[in-house]
Structure formats: structure tokens, C-alpha cells
Amino acid sequence: MLNNRKKVYDFPHKAIRYGISKLVQEAGRTDYSDPKDVLQLLELAKEVFRMLKIHARDEEGVSLKHLEKKDPQTSLRDKEEHKYLEEKIEELESLLDRIKEEGEQAPAISEEFYVKLIRFQTDYFSHMTREEEETQIRLYLYFSDTELEEHQKEIMGSLGGDELKIWAKYLIPNVPTPIKNRFEEMLKTFY
């Protein structure tokens, strides 16, 4: 039964949903006339966007790479969506740079940033849902759970210490204790 199979996207998507949601919440409550508040938002955004880029890099470099070996056409939609989402991240980062530089004009730019961030959240969440419903099924079709675990180990082994800290920061507070314990056990095998 498919429900008993290893869910490839379980850990990263939980962390990503939490990180993006936290960013949206902070963007909505930030006082853009307060440089300290703006700096906190910039740091959070930098970290969340980095996590998203790491995820796309690792997914394309491992999961989708292995999937393409079985069927070269299966990863096209994922890669197209990654490219689109990366463009949206760059646009959001550019707006954040403008907020940082503009000072007094920051509140006006902040509204544009907030609206685009909410649209981005919707797009990214839709992308993850499609991966969980479509790409995951393709992975099940071509790979055993043991092979999927090997893919996960390949990804985990490629992460630097600072990258792993980002994942832990956004995953651990967002999962029940049994999953948290499973993640922490998995970490022990790598570090």
C-alpha cells in the first residue's frame, strides 16, 4: 500500500511550510520604519530563501536525477516550477534589498513585498502539494523504499553543517516528538 511507503518529501516540506509561513507572519508584523525590525526580517528571509534553494538543488541533484535515469521526461515539470520559483525568490530578494536601502520609502515597498510574498507562498505550497501527489508516485513507481532511503542519505551527506542547522531549525519545532526523534536519529548517522 502506498500509504506505508517512505514519504520522500515529508521532512523538507514540513520545514519549508513552517519557514515560509513564519516569513509571511513576520513580514506582516514588521515595523518597516524600525531598522532593527527590518534587519530581523531580512535575516529570516535570507535563511528561508537559502533553505528553498538548498531544497531545489538537492532535489534536482539527487531525486530528480535518479528519476530521469528511469524516465527522462518525468522531471521536466518539477524543474520548470523550480525555475519559476527561483525567479520569484530573486524578485522578493530584490524588494528586500530596496527596503533595506530606501529607509523612509521602506513602508511603501513593504506592501509590494508582502503581497508578492503571499502569492509566492501560494505558488510554493501548490508546487509542494503537486510533488507530494505526482512526483512522489513516480518515485514509488521506479524505486524501492531502500533505494529512496539511499537517495535521502545522498542528500543528507551532501549538506554542510550550516545547511543542516537551517533544516533542523525549521523542522524540529514543526513535527510531533516521534518524527523529531526520528530526524535527530537520522542526523546522528551523518554527524
The percent of the chain in helix, strand and coil, each rounded to the nearest 5, is: 90, 0, 10
Per-residue pLDDT of the chain (191 residues; tens, 9 = 90+): 456 888 889 889 999 999 999 999 999 999 998 889 999 999 999 999 999 999 999 999 999 999 999 998 989 999 999 999 999 999 999 999 999 888 777 888 999 999 999 999 999 999 999 999 999 999 999 999 999 999 998 998 888 889 988 998 998 888 788 877 877 776 676 55
Q: Which domains does the chain have, with CATH numbers?
A: 8-190 (1.20.120)
How high is the pLDDT of residue 3?
Answer: 67
Q: Which pLDDT belongs to residue 130? A: 96
Q: Which has the closest alpha carbon to 189: 148, 132, 149?
A: 149
Task: State the angle between helix axes of 35-58 and 10-29 in degrees (0 to 180), rounded to the nearest 10.
Answer: 160
Residues 6-30 pLDDT 10s: 888 988 999 999 999 999 999 999 9
pLDDT of residue 1: 44
Task: Report the C-alpha gap between 85 and 88 in whole angstroms.
Answer: 5
Q: CA dist 170 to 9, 86, 129, 176, Å?
A: 14, 20, 18, 13
Provide the strand spans (E) within the chain: none
